[in-house]
Each structure stands twice: as C-alpha cells, then as structure tokens.
Structure 1
C-alpha cells in the first residue's frame, strides 16, 4: 500500500513513550553552541550552507519563518544530519512548508489516479481478509483519509525537495525536518527511486521502509535526545503532546487498524537500524541498502537471522466463473506479512472487544529504547510467508489466503487464533473446518485447512461457493463426514 507513489513520508504515530516523542524543539542553552564559528576552508561533515551543527541561530517561528530564518534553520539542520549520520550531503535540499489542506488535495488527486475500480475492489478484499474493513467498506478511501490526516512531512526522491506539513504560517517541526532531510541524504547516496526499492506487496514495502524509515527515525531520535541538552533546537509554537489511541477508549476518526499496520516500519525500523549500527557502525547500515530486508518479519525480529520468505504457490483451480484480478500485486496476490497478521489479531481486541491476543501489550516495546511498539504475538510469530489471492464473480467476492509457518506448532497456533477470531464474530461451525458468519460486515463462509506448516483459508459468500473458489483437497471425504455429523 503505497498510494502516494514515489513519496517518502513521515507518519504521525501518536506515541507516548520514551524518546519517540519529539519535544517540538527546545530553546535551552547549548553546551556546544557557538554564535558564529568560522567557516571551514572546504565542505566538511557537520557544516552545511554556511552553518555548523553546533552553531546557535536566531529563529522564532511564532509568526512563521522568514526567508532568512528558513535558510539558517535548514542549513543547521542539514549540518546536524551530517554530524549524526557521518555522511555529506552532495547537493542542497529545498525545504518547503505545505498547509494541511494543500496536502489533502495532493493525496486526493494521487489516490484518484492510482485507484481504478478493479484496483479498489482488489484492495477492499485484502483488508476485508484481515478483518480491518468490512465487505461494503471502501478500503482505498480509508487509506487516503489516513494519509491525509496522519502524515507530518514527505520527501520526493530524485527532486531534492522536502515538504513539511504546517498550519499555513510556514512553521516547521524540527524533528520532522531532520527526519525528511535524512531521507534526502539517503536518496543522494543510494537512490530511493531505484528498482531495489520497488515492491509488489505491502509486506515487501514494509520491509524496505523498515530500513529507510528506520534509519530516518534513528537519526531523528538521536537528534531529539540532544535537544535542550547539548544542542539548542528551534521550538515550534503551540505543539503539545499527542494522545495515544492504542490503549482503549473511543476509536479515532481514521482507521486505526490501517494505522497500526502502516506505522510498523517507524516503530521497529529504528531498533532494526540500531542493531545494524551496533554491529558495524554506519558502514553496516549503508551496506544493508545493497541487500535490504525482504519481509517485515526481518524488521520485527532484528535479533534473528531471517532469510527470504519461503516459496508459496497456489496452483489455479477456481471454477464456475470465479477469477483473479489480473496481475495486481504479485501475480494477483498480496502478501500481508507478519505485521498484517499481527494487526488483524490486535485490531479484534482493540476495536471489537474480541481479545484473540493480549492487545494491550502493543504499547510495551520489547527491543530497547529505539523501539516504539510491540508487534509480537504467539499466532503471528513464526511467519514464513503468506499470499492472499482475491477472487470475484460478477459482484460476488472471495479469496484464498495461504500462509506458511516455520514449524507445525506455529501453524497450529495461527489456525487456533483464527478460529477464535471467527467465534468472536459469531461464526458457527457448519462442517469440517468450515465456518459461516451469518450477518454483519463480514458475513461469509470460511474454510480453514492445515497441512503440515501450511494453513489455507478459503472465503466465499456461501458454503457452496468455497469449493468453486478453491476445491477442497478431499471434498468427497469432507462431504461424507458432514452428513454423518
């Protein structure tokens, strides 16, 4: 899900833990600050556009930034990114503020171009498969709304241009500026628009974002840790701490399940990059760009040696008019990954009162000071691969979701948790491995088959449709057992 095209964004995560909460600037005295240190004879790390990383500047954003203030603000911020990252900018970067209304209009236009009717229908079924949006919902519209409301800034690869969303008065959050400048530096050195970072599935995109967003968040956090201590930082007026929507209470006015799935790279990415840094410094981080992670599981579990996802195929067998949506995603399928599966179970507890997992542990990070949220649970751990194939027959919808697990025990835990999810949706068992939800936004039939380390879920409007979407491997035996029962 990257409907904003080649844009690298910073999503507001509404965190309320540790250093992840950017203080919005601090006007305290700097132990290192100098009023006007002399310029170097040549460009060096920590000096950019006439400003040193530890230079004090006179900038007040109360009435918006003047051109001179923006020049000083940007120059010192670039120098600080250089100082933290130990890397040089090779070109200057343009920084521009954009009002929220202007940004919303930009996202709306891009979304309208991206989502054709077939793409919208395909996207709907993926999120329906995760029990995040119901059958009649418009998942594409909900994603658009999420980005319109929760993005703080973005960078355009190849254009050396950073946009920070503001209140219309050209007031720029200091941590957001650092984050987006870190993306600009990445782009100048590794080319974020290259084919290495093209992803056909949402899980592959989260994996790549775990590296790119993880590094930008890691740089941002190391910056915020210095604000008010060793560095003077430009404050942004009228910025208070954001509340956390994850612990309970009224749901926010955007889709919280989509938010949780989307911010995983921002949460686990910094810890992933920190583990690389601890193993070999910035050289180890730079080297990883030549071989970026291939799954969100690799970012969720940086302490483990996570190889590429296990091969997983379907073998087309649909009949009686059921067909795929062409080649969207990976040959018609989407991979939601360990993050998507965790989100599915988490969202049932938070939004539906169906605690398949202990969803409240989400706000208890488990990977040290650079981790924001906890994306681990028994039924999502042990993921080896998954592919979800949406099908349609006229206006009817169905899907086949095949998952692969590291062990048979992992597969059994996932199957058990999925059945608990269905029970929480008032599903009734209507045959061997077959369930039906009779009413509501997820009213459908479901078949759950486990063979060794593989669990396959088939969905269709009725029980009779299941064998058309995906014929059972032992239909005759299952029919006989159903009659006996």
Structure 2
C-alpha cells in the first residue's frame, strides 16, 4: 500500500513536463498541465464529425479538408527517425501530420499553418530569468503570495515563479507571436513528444477560432477561471490524442523524458496556477458528453467566471461570483499600492484558497489541514490520476462567492494587505475561518490582546520562515475580513476598524 509521502511525490511527478499558453502579463509566468490520462472518456474511434476518410494511397485531396494538413493525413505514416534528433524537414512532417490529427480529434479546421521552433531549455530558462517586471508589480506579487503563506517577504516571488517555469514547461504557444516553442533538454539532437506538440497546436487552433486575447484574465482568479476552458480543452484534446496513439496511431515520444531535470523552486504558486489543468479536462469532458463539441465551443463565448464553476461543474454558468468592492481606510503613511499595467487589487478565488490550505502538506510532512486522502484523486489501481490528479474542493474553501485583496505600503517600504472574502452563508464563512485559524497556528501565530473587532494574531518576529506579521481576522455573517500589518500597532493604520 502506498504511503502518503509516496502519493505526494507522485502528484509532483504528474505536475511536471507541462505545456500551455504564454500569458501576456509578465509577472504571471507560464504554468503547465497534464499529459496522458487514465480516466475513461469518449474516444473518437470513428473520427470526429466532418472528417474525410483518406484514400487508400493517401493522395492529397482536391481542397483542404478536415483531417489533412500540409500534405499529410491524420493516419498517414511518415518517414521520421528522431533518435539522432529532428532536422527541419522531419519537424515539418511531424507538425503537419500532428495538425491533421488535432483536427481529427477536435473537429475544427486550422485556418493557417503554425510555425514551430525548438528552443534549448537553458536558453528558455535564461529568457525567464532575464524578464523584467516593474518594481511595484513585483512587490504587489510578493505580497499576494505572502498572504497565502507561500513566499515570504525576503524572497522574490517573480524569480521563484520564473524558476518554476524554466524547470517545468515542455512547450508553449504565444498568441502575440502566433508561434509554438517546444523546449528541448537536448538541443544538439532535439526530440519532441507528439502529445506535447498536439496541445500547443491546439492552442494555436483555439486562437484562430476563438481569439484567446479577448478574455479578461486580469487577476489570478480570472486567469484560472478562463483557463478552465482554454487549458481544460487543451488537456482533454491531449487525452484523446493519446488514446489514439495507444490504439491506432504511430506517435513520436521522447523516451528521455523532460521537465528540465530539476525540482520546482516553490510548489505553492504552482499549485495555485495548476487548478485549471487538473479540473479543466473533466469540466470539458462533461460538456462534451452532454452536448458534443458544439457545447464545448459555446463556452468560449461564455467562459467560466470563477474557479468555483470549474471545480464544481454543476455550478456553471448559473452560480456567478459576487463583484466585491473594498474601500481604503488607511492612516499615517500607509497608501494603496497601484501597480502599473494591472488592476490595483488581487483575486485568488476558490483555487487560491484551496491551494493555501493544502500547501502545508508539501512543506511539513505529517501536517494536514486538508488531508492527502482529500487532496489526491486516485485511479482504480490506487495511483494518482493523471486526468484530474488534484481535488481543489474541500470544506474550507467550498462556498466562496468572491474575494478581493488590496495591498498597502508605508513610507518605510513595509507592506500590509486587506483581504475580503464572502461566502454562501455564515456557516460556510465559519468553516473557512476554522481552516484559516489552523493555518495561522501552523505558522506559529498566537492570539494577542488588542482593541477592536475580531481576533488579532501575531507571528513572532524571530519566525524562521519569514512570515513575522500581525493579523486581524473578523467574521461578519457571510464575510471574513483579514487585515495584515508588520506589527499589531500598525493594523488600525492599514485599515481603520471604524
């Protein structure tokens, strides 16, 4: 029987070797998703609707047709040998046939070809390390992850996430450049996994059909919510493509593996961003089972508005999030941080709250606010599911209807924040408060005497993890308000309780 430690390691393996869409926000680095899956799902055994069967000699059609691209049918053999790496001619063959296969699986026609470039991982890592982020946006991002007790004040969150990206990403599609990059660990003899390539080709197809740039992904919550369809569809297509490879197609694989050969710098931000890659495929699978690909296509016109709608597919699209406001009530030298190029607030949603409460599982073995049995979805053999490995639904985060965080800075350069979270009802808010207070206890916080509403907690100044701060936690019916400041005496300056 597998131990909890082994299962958690297995979950980390599931999260590696990923692909995705390059986001346009420079402080929101690329994160990845899953590969093949092990959960039953419909397989296009007779081809997608509208796919033309190729002639026996695989001759080219008179005009472009679904399931054929660039001179190759979806089930046509190609003369490619990648043991010594792919040359340009071989890469072109693989790309064209893979485009035809994506069309076959998904039932959508490419409007134009997509350039594919193979980039050495070291070059990709250097690109991530050399990316620039305005200082106020960097500080804003630091505080956001500090609020989740994942990255402390002395650690650069952007650098941490860029390191994660350089380690974990197997490929990406850039909407702004309309090109695909496959990240290679062996630049002298580049190989690729056809499954990784298929997802990036599908992202290009998504962009051609649905315009990925049109979506509002201005906060982490909005980003994850939209990715429920964007990455969910992409990873579901991966699954179906992989099933065809296992059953009928001869597909290229990179048996040397990928993922950069190194560990993540910090799994916390990765867990926050991984949610749509875990829950999205099941969300899309359910849509397809109910209404076919037409039902999936329709979601691009009405994408999920919250991670709740993807974590709990039965709540899409009717259970809409609350649109919260959060007024500034500062004094002394405290002012709101308004980073250039982005909205002046954060939203973390159910995915962020769930990841915050799960994170202790990965940082202190044997410590659990959310148990491993609740967190890990398993397949019939007892291993971690590759189709939907992580369960972001738990009793502490369930029922969140909206959140908003404002971040503040004083003249000394110190930071604080106010985080407002609303729930379906008072009982759900109390459940969250129970989980959050367990998290404070895990971080060595203790309650202190202080005037004003709620309970004030203090993490000691000598905290070895770098989270020494004060917190005022107030529940008012279905709302929980968390105020953070460097010291207890600063709490009222960050937010006046009156």
Pair 1:269 & 2:290 matched: no
Following TM superposition, by how much is the alpha carbon of 1:198 offset from its aligned partner in structure 2, in angstroms? 3.2
Partner of 1:420: 438
Distance 1:461 1:95 in 2: 49
Residue 369 of structure 1: how far off its partner (Å)? 7.9
What SS does structure 2 have at the residue aligned with 1:153? strand
Counterparts in 2 of 1:201 and 1:119: CA distance versus 1, 3 Å: same
C-alpha distance 117-455 of structure 1, shift in aligned 2 (>3 A): same
2:483 paired residue number: 458
**1:331 Cα deviation (Å)?**
4.8
Aligned residue number for residue 377 of structure 2: 364
Q: Is the 8 A contact 1:132 1:347 kept in 2?
A: yes
Aligned to 2:208: 188
Superposed CA deviations along residues 128-169 of structure 1, whole A, max 9, x for unmatched, are 000001121111111111111111111121543111111212
Query: Where does 1:251-290 land on structure 2 (aligned, <5 Å)?
Result: 252-290=263-301
**Farther off after superposition, 275-284 or 171-180:** 275-284
Per the alignment, in what secondary structure is the counterpart of residue 263 of structure 1? helix
In structure 2, the residue matched to 1:470 is 495
CA distance in 1 between partners of 2:84 and 2:55 (Å): 25
Structure 2 match to 1:5:
24
Determine the C-alpha separation between the residues in 2 that align with 1:321 and 1:36: 77
Distance 1:331 1:41 in 2: 51
Cα deviation, residue 19, structure 1: 6.1
How far, CA to CA, are the matches of 1:220 and 1:414 in structure 2? 35
Determine if contact 1:458/1:470 at 8 Å carries over to the other structure: yes
Q: Tell me: CA distance 1:237–1:252, structure 2 relative to 1, closer, same or farther (3 Å).
A: closer
- 1:443 maps to what in 2? 468
Q: Is the 8 A contact 2:167 2:260 kept in 1?
A: no
Instruction: Please point out which of 119, 124, 149 is paired with 2:137.
Output: 119
Is 1:343 the counterpart of 2:343? The answer is no
For the aligned residues, what is the CA RMSD? 2.8
Q: 1:14 to 1:331 in 2, by over 3 A?
A: closer
* Distance in 2 between residues matched to 1:329 and 1:336, nearest whole Å: 18
Give 1:328 deviation, angstroms. 5.7
**Contact 1:200–1:329, Cα closer than 8 Å, also in 2:** no
Aligned residues of 1:16 and 1:242 also touching (Cα < 8 A): no
Cα deviation per residue 1:320-343 (whole Å; 9 max; x = unaligned)? 111111266875210011111011
Q: 1:357 to 1:328 in 2, by over 3 A?
A: farther
Alignment check: 8 A CA contact 2:468 2:486 kept: yes
Q: Could you tell me which residue of structure 2 aligns to residue 333 of structure 1? A: 345
**Which of 170-179 and 308-317 deviates more?**
308-317
Q: Structure 1 residues 299-308 or 449-458, which shifts more?
A: 299-308
Change (3 A) 1:210 1:150: same
Greater mean deviation of Cα atoms: 84-93 or 327-336: 327-336
The Cα offsets for residues 105-144 of structure 1, whole Å up to 9 and x where unpaired, read as: 22233x31xx111111111110000000112111111111
Asked if the contact 2:377–2:385 (Cα under 8 Å) also holds between the matched residues in 1, the reply is: no
Query: What secondary structure sits across from 1:448 in the alignment?
Result: strand
Q: Summarize the Cα distance change of 1:283–1:155 in structure 2 as closer, same or farther, 3 Å threshold.
A: same
Work out the CA distance in 2 between the residues paired with 1:34 and 1:62. 31
Corresponding residue for residue 321 of structure 1? 333
Q: Give the match for residue 79 of structure 1.
A: 100
Q: CA deviation at 1:302?
A: 0.9
Q: For residues 259-283 of structure 1, what are the alpha-carbon distances to aligned partners after superposition, in whole Å with 9 as ceiling and x for unaligned?
A: 1111111111111111221221111
Unaligned segments of structure 2, at least 5 residues:
1-20, 41-52
**Structure 1 CA distance for aligned equivalents of residues 331 and 258 of structure 2:** 57
How far, CA to CA, are the matches of 2:402 and 2:377 in structure 1? 26
- Partner secondary structure for residue 313 of structure 2: coil
* Alignment match, 1:296: 307
How far apart are the structure 1 equivalents of 2:22 and 2:194? 26
Most deviating of 77-86 and 416-425: 416-425
Equivalents in 2 of 1:9, 1:444: separation in Å?
A: 28
Residues 281 and 370 from structure 1, CA distance in 2 versus in 1: closer, same or farther, beyond 3 angstroms?
A: farther
Comparing 224-233 and 200-209, the one that deviates more: 224-233
Tell me if 1:312 matches 2:337: no
Structure 1 unaligned blocks of 5 or more: 21-31, 244-250, 474-485
Aligned residues of 2:30 and 2:165 also touching (Cα < 8 A): no
TM-score (structure 1 length as normaliser): 0.86
1:25 is aligned to none
Q: Any idea what SS the aligned residue of 1:152 has?
A: strand
- Once residues 469 and 88 of structure 1 are traced to their aligned partners in structure 2, the CA distance between those partners, rounded to angstroms, is 54
Among candidates 172, 190, 203, match of residue 192 of structure 2: 172
